[in-house]
Every structure is written in C-alpha cells, then in structure tokens.
Structure 1
Amino acid sequence: MTIKRAHLYLLRHSSWSVVLGMVLAFTSCSPRATIPDTGKATAEAAPVSAPVTTEEEAEYEVPVEYYTLDNGLKVVLSPDETAPIATVAVYYNIGFRNEPKDRTGFAHLFEHMMFQGSENLGKMEFIELVQKNGGVLNGSTRFDFTNYFEIVPANKLETVLWAEADRMKGLKITQDNLTNQQGVVKNEVKVNVLNQPYGGFPWLDMPQYANKNWYNAHNFYGDLEDLDAATLEDVKSFFETYYSPNNAALVVVGDFEPEEAKEWIQEYFEDIPSSPVPPKPDLSEPRQEKEQRFTKDDKLATRPALAFAYHMPERNTPEYYAMGLLDQILLQGNDSRLYQALVQDRGYTGSVGGGINSDLGNMFNYNGPMLWMGSLVHDKNVSADSIVAVLDEEVQRLQEEGIDQELLDLALVKMRSSLYDQVSQMYGFGKADLLASFALFDDDPARINALEEEFKKVTPELLQKTIREYLRPTNRTVLVVNPQAQI
C-alpha cells in the first residue's frame, strides 16, 4: 500500500462508507508477543439516549478531558459510546509553513518516513497491524501540523496506542528508507501536480502568489532539487526536533473507558523524552494595499480557470468569526450569492467552490495567516474581468443593502450545520481533528464547545466592518489559468 498525503478534499470525497463495515467486522490477527493486546471482546454498543426536548434549543456538547504528561505531550480524551469504534490521532506541531528553508517539502517527505518502520515494527508492519485488526489509517501534512490517525475496533485501542508510541519513541531512519521515500514523493508531485490539468490549482498555487512571507509563500509540496538534497542527518535532526512529545497532541475519541486509556497512555508515552523545540518563525503578512493579478499557463488544461483570494482576519478575532459567516453567505452551498450569480443567473460556470483554508482543512485547523479563496473553471467566451466584476457586485450589494437579521440567521444555521458535519466526520476523525488543533494551537481543546456561541456574537454591524476591511479589492489576489492543451 502506498501512503500519500491526504488532503481534506480527498477525505471528504473518498469512499469512506467502507470504513464502518471494516471496523465492525472485527477482522483481527494475533499480534507479535511484544504488541499489547487485551483480548477483551467489545461489548455491544451502548443504547443512544433519546434526545431531550425543551423550549430552549438543545445544545450539543463534546466531552473533553485534557491533561499534559510530564514530558509535555498534550492528551485529549473524548468518550463516545455511539459505536464500538476508537479513533486515535497524533498531531505534530510541524507543517508546510515552518519547515526548514532550502528544504521545501521536507514536512511532507517526513510524513512518508513515519510509515517506514520503528523500533518494534518493521517496514509496512504498522499499516498491516491496523488493517489486519479491522481498521483504517492515514496521515497528512497541512499548513501548521502533520497528523496521523487510526480508526479501529474499540477493543484494539491499546494496540494502536502502543504502536503510535513506538514510532514516536524511535523511527527507523535509514538511507534506503530515505532514498525510497524521496522517489515516492517526487513521483507524487509529478502525478498530482506536474502531470495533471489544473494540478495544484488553486490550493498549492494561490498561497505562493498571494503571500509575501517565505513561510507562507513557498512551494509546500517541495522543489524536486530540495527533495533530492535531503540527507540522512537532515531526517534524524528533523525527527529529534519536531517529533518529540512536547511538540505533539494525542487525541482518543470513541468507545473507551477514560481511566483505562489514561493508564495505557501513561505506560507507553510517559517515558519518551522531550526535546527543545525551536521558536515559532514569524509568519506575519503585511497588509495588502493593491490588488494582485497573475496568469499561469497550463499545458494540460482545456478550459480557463480563475481563483480569487482575500487575506483573512487574525484567527479567533471577532472579524474572523464574521468572515466565517460571510463565507457561508457568499460561497457555501447552492443558495450562496456567488453560486446564484455565476452559475444560476449568468451560466458562466457549472460550479464555484472554495472557503477558508480551502482544500487543505477547515477554518479551525490552522494557526497563522490564511486566505479566503474561491475558484471556478469557466467557458472560453467568459472573460476573467467579467467574473471579477460579478464578485465585486455581490460584495458591494452586501455592503449597500446591508445584512439583515434574517440573512444572518440563515448564515448561522448553515455554519452550525457545517460545524456539526465536521464534528461527526469519519467516525470520530472530524472531532479528533478539531480537538487536536485546539490543543496544539490554543492549549484549549474545550474550545470545540464554544464555537457556536462565538458565531452567535456576530452582528450585522460587525459584518459590515469586516466587508469593508477584508473584502476590499485591494486585499485581493486573482489567479487566472490560461489553457494550452489542444482539443
């Protein structure tokens, strides 16, 4: 099996309906003697209590228990007896943005290295261990973290915790493994970007055009020369620096006993030594004062495409939450203003998509400058200027007509639905993703239960203020794909 980076786009669109069947099948094997296996049969799923209805709107609350081990590892536990499944996620506070200069793509390369064997599990044995016990697994590299997760039958939780601790404690770093994975990553770049129409558009391209700070604007997939230049010493240093427990968060979601899970976590993770972590680099972006426009020739594309991006407000500010609601009004769903204007009314395109942290996550799982971005592929007889004019018209209409309480309430309903979709995504992984992100970035995974209230604080006046500052044309970057393929 080839492990490759899973963008959230892929997670959303993959056929994950097979996961539940796989997990509930309880296909298991006898692990080697050194691998802990309780052998405990999983009981039937606890009955779900009927919802309590009151005159007030029922509030859903995610159980959160949060603590830190002596070595600095952040631990989040969130029991859920809905199904006999457990999800384990380990997030390391290293991503595209803060990888070393002159080693572009190194964070992603190292994600691949984490599947090449550890002290007690040989190459591919981590994958086999999870799959033969009825589970699924994957890893991905994002702006501000690299993550690994497993979804397994609940009675295999201890086994997976042991395995994650084993590779955190000692990855098998060899020249053969490095050379092999350099080739795998270079091939992935060729297949997913260089040899694909619209490859890297806009998720990989736009940050490089819109941002000025190298950390936000370099090629996250990695230049092929930089990937070739990575040495064994680079890999060892990277592992010792960024894959230490004090630079990580461990999340367990699902059907488990918290006290039992704590004992396993203490046993397997507590003795892993911490390491000094370098200070976070300066990620700040200057205020954009002039619209930027760029054109990219695409030898494989047959139709033109356009992407637009606006710099976001700082994370967790009132304007940040306001932008989340403006995203719902302008871009999310078939009732959004841009879908109606570009697809339904004018027929410029068949779809328009995007959002905050589009294609690489969601508006919650990043920790630095970000773009609100939209994109579309359109007919050749439609000019880029006409599309941008529609965008300006819709933003101006919001500003001139204002956003009344009815429209604000609709945006809140859509946001609430989107948030609940995220929390329930992939049998616990969506919930684990938010909990890990808030633990890493805010030291407060319980923020997951405060998000809805933050959006409710947004007023029509705040929305107008946010439009004026963040949706102004001078805060915008436009990227046009010029098709070069002959039909």
Structure 2
Amino acid sequence: MKTLLSMVSLLVLAACTPSQQVKQSNQQAKVKSQEVKSDSRVFTQPYDMRELDNGLKVIVVKTDYPGVVSLQIPVQTGSRNEVEPGKSGFAHFFEHMMFRGTENFSQEQYRAMLKEVGADQNAYTTDDYTNYHVTFINEDLERMLMLEADRFQNLKYSEAQFKTEALAVKGEYLKNSASPFNKLFETVRKNAFTEHTYRHTTMGFLEDIEDMPNQLEYSYEFFDRWYRPEKTAVIVVGDVDVQNTHALVEQYFGEWQRGDYSVDIPVEPAAIGTQSHHIEWESETLPILGLVFRGATADPSIKDKSAIDMMGQVYFGQNSDVYQDLVVSRQLVDALFFYTPDSKDPGLIYILARLTDQENYAEVHQAMLDTIVKARSSMADENKLDDIKSAARYSFANSLDNSEAIGDMLASVVQYNRDPEFINQQYAQLDAITAADVKWAANKYLVDDGRIMVTLAQAEAIESINNDFSLAEKVAAASQPKVAQYQVTDMTNTSDIVDVNFLFNTGPAQDPTGKKGLAALTASMLTNGGSASKSIKDIQKAMLPMAAYFASQVDKEMISMSGRVHREKAEEWLGLVLDSLLNPGFREDDFKRLKTQQINNIQTDLKQTNDEELGKEVLYQKLYPGHPYESLNLGHAADLESITLDDVKAFYREQLTQANLNVGITGNLAAEQQQMMLDRITNELNAIGADKVVIESAPALSGRHVTIVEKQTIPTAVSFGFPIEVNRSHEDWVALWLVRSFFGEHRNSNSFLYERIREARGMNYGNYAYIEYFPAGMYRTQPAANLG
C-alpha cells in the first residue's frame, strides 16, 4: 500500500513539476468513440468511454503492448472525505480491508487466484481518492474483472481480521514516522488548516489510528457510503478487444447498486497571519527548512494551479538560479523542492530545502526569501517558460511507455470528474500561462497571510533565523525603481576594441586585522572563480574564440576588474562578465585553488625568486608600521590560511558596492549594450555596504632606519625612500612626475641614475625612481593606468 506523501513521491513531484503534477486527457460521454480533436492535446491515445446505468464510468484503451493489461479502479474517496471527528485516516485504513476476502472467496483463496495468474496487484490512498490497480496478461481479463467486481460488491471480513489490520496500519504510521519529511508534512498540515480535512494526512491522526480497532461497525457504513459505482471508474488499458471488454465489465459490474450518499467538505477560512514551528529530531538527520503557503485547486478551468506550477519551475526548478546556487555551486543544501500536489480543493505550496549543515540556515533562508521577492517583483523570461512547457509535454509523452503507466495516469485524473479530458484541459491551461500570469500567481499565493516557516533539526532551536519578516515590505522595497549609486566614465568612441573597467574604491587597506589578503582573494574569486551559472572552465572556453579576457588588479585603496573584447562579441562577453561580477560562483574548490595560488605567489614568486620586488615590499612595510598600507597587497601567508569563503562573501557584500564603483568604458560599445550593463549593475549589485576604515596619514619618520633581509642568493637589491602626501590629484603631481622621469622611470635606460650608475660605472643592472606604489614591476614599465 502507498500514500501520496511518501518521500519518493515528493522527490519525483518536486523534480518533474509540472509534468508530474498536471496529468492527462481525452473526451467522451456515454457510448462515444474518441477522435483526435487538435494537435494541442497531450493525451492522444484513442479510448472508448461509457457510463453504465448504475453510474459506473468505464474507460477502455487499446494499446500495442502485446499481452499485458492494466486494470485501474479509482474511487472518489480519500482523506478529504473524512469529515467526522475521530475518523481521520479511515480511507487509507479501508484500502487495507479491501484485501481481506469476500462472501465468495476467502482472503487465502483470493491471494491464491492472484498468484496462479501471476497478477501484480496493489493500491494506494491519497487526499482525494483511493486507487486499486492490478497488472496481468490478457487471457485472464475476465477472471480479474470478476474478482474485482466481487470485492467491490461483496466485501467481507471478520472482526479479528479488522482488528489485526488496524494494528498493521498503526505499524505503518510508526514506520513512516521515522521519516523527517513525513513528520514535517504532518506538522504543517495540522497547523495550516483549521476546518478543512486536508488538516490531517492520509494516514490520519495517531489518536484516531489507535481507536480504529473499535470502529468495526463504522467500517461497514464507510463501505456502504463510498464504494458505489457513481463514485468509481473502471479503467482497462492494454492488449484487449474494446467491445468484449465493455461487455465483461457490464456483466460483472452491471448489478452493482448505485448509492445516494454525499457530504459537504468544510471550507477553509481565509488565512490570517504567519506561523513558525520547529521540530526537534532526536536521531541524526540533515536539517530541513521549509516555507509553506496556501495553494490552489487543480481545477483546469482556472489558471491558478498551472501558473503556480510554472512559477515553481522557473524560480525553484533544477535550472533555476537559486537551485544552481544552493545545490550545485555552494552546496549549502543537497536538495531543493517546490512541491504543490494537485488537489480537488486548495492545498499547500511547499518550498523545502534539506541543508548540508545546520550552519547554513541563515544563508539558505535568505536565498529562499530573495527568490520569492524576485518572483513577485520581476517578470520571468518568456523563453524559459516556453522551454518548461516543451519539457512538460515531452516528459509526459515519455512517461506513457507501457499500459500500466497509461492506466495509472488515467486513474490520477479521472478521479476528479471521471473524465480523461481533464489532463488535456490542464495542459491547455499550462500552455496559456504567460510571464504576467507567473508574477500574478506569486503575488496572490506567496504572501504573508497563511505563511508557515518550519525547521527540523537535532538542535533544540534554530537561533540564526526567525519568522519576523514581512514579504509585503520586501516586495514593496524591491519594486521601487532603483537609483544608480555608482559613477560612469564614458569614453566610448569608434574603436572596434571595447574596454570596460569596474573600478572599486576599496582594496587591501580595508582588509580586516588577521585577514590580510582578503581583498585580493575576493577579486580573484570574481574574475577567476566562475559565476553561479558557469564554471571558470566554461567561461574561459567561451572567451577563447573571442580573444577576450576579464582580469583583476588591486592597489591599496582600489580594486580594478577589467577586460577587453571586440565590439562584435561585446554582448556575449558582457553576459559572462556581469554574471561573474554580480552573481559570483563562490565555489569551495575555486576558493581553495585561488587561495593556494595567492599563498604561492607570496612564498615562492616574491620571497624566493624576486629580490627586486621583495626589497620594495619590505621598504613599504617599514615606511607604514601599524598603518593599513603596511601589508603586501597579496596579504600575509599566515592570514590567508585563516581566511574562509564566508570572509570573501562578506567582503564582497560590504566593499564591492555601487557606492564604491566607477564604471569606465572605451571603444564602440553599442548604446543598448551599455544600458543593459548599467541596468544590471543598478538592479543587482549591493548599493551600499559597510563603512570603510579611515586611512590616516602615514606615520612620521625620524632619523635613518636600515633593514637587511638575509637570503641565500647572489644578487642584491636596495630600496630606500620616505612617504609623501601626494597622489595623482595633488597639484604637485605633474612636477614630481617630471622629477621622477628625470631620475629614471622603471626599466628606463635613458635616465640620470641609469646613466651614472650602470652605464658609466657598471655597478648594477638598473636604477629606478618611484613617486607611488609600484608593485609587479617585473611585468610593466609604467604604473597601472587606473590604479594609484
């Protein structure tokens, strides 16, 4: 036996929405043969549907799968119909009793006949219906119809059998209670509904299950009420003769007596306010976070459910940004579900994440909220919607690969109104959904009233998150037109070569104590660590045929991330670059790789193999003791060892902001491409971050100081100097530049010092003068144009 909300069902439904959640169809009434009506239908298999005088719907589908027949009998009773107090779970319990024998055949005889013909039989109960299904070979069709008709009309069981099965159902409940997800569903539903019978799961409340052994008389009443032909369909799919099959169904089910029982299902009142529930799990398990909302009915005459299904795929499906971020890139969760099963009455929308570590709650919670706000405040990509619709249709077609699959699909949709066309109506509604519909659904259903936040973990409580937030306020803030907080230096011209520089007025001077090297490592993560949607390998592969690049440089108070591309490839290149800048991948393996490279640059490239650069860096350190300029731009090796990926993310959020940004553009960049770039920066980059550390004046020097760095090496490098209060905007800058040029620019052989010391006396390799920080001198002859 199975229940709908098993973990397997959850995983399948979450992964395949909407193709799993929107079923299928065709149409007929009384003795009507199916004809293909339009190419837009998803279920095009011919079927013959008739209604007997007693109200039983009979649907026969002849297939080309030789010898095999699937018989499905859905009954329109599930836990939804359990309106009487103390009777929750009875539909599921009674499903068990249907296997206990009849007036004509004992339970043992019934099982022996099934075994004799090699039939595969089972049943399951859902919120809305109970389905009995059996698969066998076509030569046993009459026997199977006889056996099924017999138990639906002549069910019989003893009190001992009844009480034994009641204990078995309790055992099933206890077995299922070992699943964290089952406990989560039970907790959510009990609190989400106050009147409607969806308040309990198909298993029912434990107290009602424990009382089932005392409900023998009620079980007879339950059978008499619900197991009636007008509430049932007989579906035969397989290698059969259609007319003969109808005749056999008429023969064995025709005398089944129609009933007259009906019940009013309580209407759930509108939800008010929010709830938060924590489930403390005693045994070891991965933590779970869920945001749950009121949902919609599966009625295909309205667009609500189809729009919700589409919303789930766009914003939480496997190709969504949040899934790629949380599951694939950062691996903060190992599973992300958007689960909203079809139901006769409005159900629930579950957004669930299973975390890889309890420490991830805050980040996962924020990512889920950000995605909900995005769904409510922005418009989905129509092309993505088209792709999802296409995938849903082909996925549906691929799933109908045998007679049993076709029969099971029909049972799941016929239970609504006993008409296979229900599925075609659902897919037609899905096909009509637009981006505007998706946004409308998000704003109608992903709201504060009725919202439940649920956590499940071994911890007694989760302190890092709370339910004290307003989605309405977040959406209102996100919907306000954003104003750019950055500067643009537009030097576009007619050149085919396009250069773009994202210059942030922050840098290693803002590295926290004990985290020296953080700014440089963050810059490397953005330009050499990939984006949320593409690995650095994918980006490099895409840039190769463009002959384009995107790289970073850092100075004490500046970070430059710049690149170059031919104007013909500018749009594609900008997409890659902006994704890296605005949606960084922040993968752990990239972080470890780049941190190791940065440490090696210090330990090997600088300290061991480049005495000239090492001498300059030691001089800078001695000129600025205790000052933010004291540290090497690449940082300290010991500090780098202690830096975590979370440190990088924090620096990115707090320092690489619009308020610190100047975007420089040269070349023939098209106006629409430029506007696209600026719009994305305005809408996606954090506007304002943390206050920057104030850079004080350089420490005053007195006297003469000498530092000797001893190394086992032949060459000698000498650097000496003192701080000056001059930068490129100072009025004395040009004069000092001329003086520096006279003494000797880096690697310049036509200068005073070079001529006097090297050329005239042959004392060394070179002699150069500087009026600003000049790192990486091995690879350039002039200071970096946009740093300083």
TM-score per shorter chain, which class?
Answer: 0.7 to 0.9
- CA 1:148–1:249 in structure 2 vs 1: closer, same or farther (change >3 Å)? same
User: Does 2:347 match 1:370?
Assistant: yes
Report what 1:143 is aligned to.
Answer: 127
Shift of 1:96: 1.1
Deviations 1:61-118 (A, max 9, x none): 1223222211121222222123321111111111112123212221111111001111
1:62 touches 1:449 (CA, 8 Å); kept in 2?
no
- Equivalents in 2 of 1:405, 1:437: separation in Å? 30
Shift of 1:354: 4.2
- Which AA in structure 2 matches 1:281? I
- Which AA in structure 1 matches 2:273? K
Q: 1:320 aligns with which of 305, 318, 321?
A: 305
> Secondary structure of the equivalent of 2:73?
strand
1:6 touches 1:139 (CA, 8 Å); kept in 2?
no
Which shifted more, 95-104 or 476-485? 476-485
- Equivalents in 1 of 2:448, 2:135: separation in Å? 44
2:293 touches 2:348 (CA, 8 Å); kept in 1?
yes
Report what 2:247 is aligned to.
Answer: 263
Report what 2:280 is aligned to.
Answer: 297
Report what 2:406 is aligned to.
Answer: 431
Higher alpha-carbon Rg = 2
TM-score, scaled to structure 1: 0.81
Report what 1:48 is aligned to.
Answer: none
Q: 1:346 aligns with which of 330, 339, 342?
A: 330
Report what 2:103 is aligned to.
Answer: 119
2:7 touches 2:182 (CA, 8 Å); kept in 1?
no
Report what 1:306 is aligned to.
Answer: 289
2:3 touches 2:202 (CA, 8 Å); kept in 1?
no
2:123 touches 2:133 (CA, 8 Å); kept in 1?
yes
1:173 touches 1:232 (CA, 8 Å); kept in 2?
no
Report what 1:183 is aligned to.
Answer: 167
Shift of 1:327: 2.0
- CA 1:131–1:450 in structure 2 vs 1: closer, same or farther (change >3 Å)? farther
User: Does 2:200 match 1:218?
Assistant: yes
- Equivalents in 1 of 2:386, 2:421: separation in Å? 25
- CA 1:192–1:290 in structure 2 vs 1: closer, same or farther (change >3 Å)? same
- CA 1:63–1:476 in structure 2 vs 1: closer, same or farther (change >3 Å)? farther
- Equivalents in 2 of 1:378, 1:217: separation in Å? 27
Shift of 1:10: 4.7
Deviations 1:136-166 (A, max 9, x none): 1111110011111001112222221111101
Q: How does 1:400-439 map to 2 (within 5 A)?
A: 400-424=377-401, 427-439=402-414
- Equivalents in 2 of 1:310, 1:227: separation in Å? 28
Report what 1:23 is aligned to.
Answer: none
2:126 touches 2:202 (CA, 8 Å); kept in 1?
no
- CA 1:419–1:202 in structure 2 vs 1: closer, same or farther (change >3 Å)? farther
- Equivalents in 2 of 1:212, 1:336: separation in Å? 34
- CA 1:259–1:111 in structure 2 vs 1: closer, same or farther (change >3 Å)? same
1:105 touches 1:219 (CA, 8 Å); kept in 2?
yes
- Equivalents in 2 of 1:246, 1:232: separation in Å? 25
> Secondary structure of the equivalent of 2:230?
helix
> Secondary structure of the equivalent of 1:165?
helix
Q: Say how many residue pairs are matched.
A: 429
User: Does 2:236 match 1:252?
Assistant: yes
2:65 touches 2:403 (CA, 8 Å); kept in 1?
no
User: Does 2:440 match 1:465?
Assistant: yes
- Which AA in structure 2 matches 1:269? F
Higher relative contact order (CA 8 A, sep 6+): 1
Deviations 1:34-82 (A, max 9, x none): xxxxxxxxxxxxxxxxxxxxxx899651223222211121222222123
Which shifted more, 155-164 or 466-475? 466-475
2:131 touches 2:411 (CA, 8 Å); kept in 1?
no
Fraction of identical pairs, as percent: 23
Report what 1:161 is aligned to.
Answer: 145
Report what 1:38 is aligned to.
Answer: none
Report what 1:227 is aligned to.
Answer: 209
TM-score, scaled to structure 2: 0.51
- CA 1:8–1:269 in structure 2 vs 1: closer, same or farther (change >3 Å)? farther
> Secondary structure of the equivalent of 2:293?
strand
- Equivalents in 1 of 2:44, 2:245: separation in Å? 21
2:73 touches 2:233 (CA, 8 Å); kept in 1?
yes
Structure 2: unaligned runs, 5 residues or longer: 13-38, 461-788
Report what 2:319 is aligned to.
Answer: 335
- CA 1:276–1:63 in structure 2 vs 1: closer, same or farther (change >3 Å)? same
Shift of 1:4: 5.7
- Which AA in structure 2 matches 1:113? M
- Which AA in structure 1 matches 2:337? G
Which shifted more, 220-229 or 242-251? 220-229
Structure 1: unaligned runs, 5 residues or longer: 15-55, 358-362
Report what 1:71 is aligned to.
Answer: 54
- Equivalents in 1 of 2:10, 2:141: separation in Å? 25
- CA 1:295–1:124 in structure 2 vs 1: closer, same or farther (change >3 Å)? farther
- Equivalents in 2 of 1:408, 1:391: separation in Å? 21
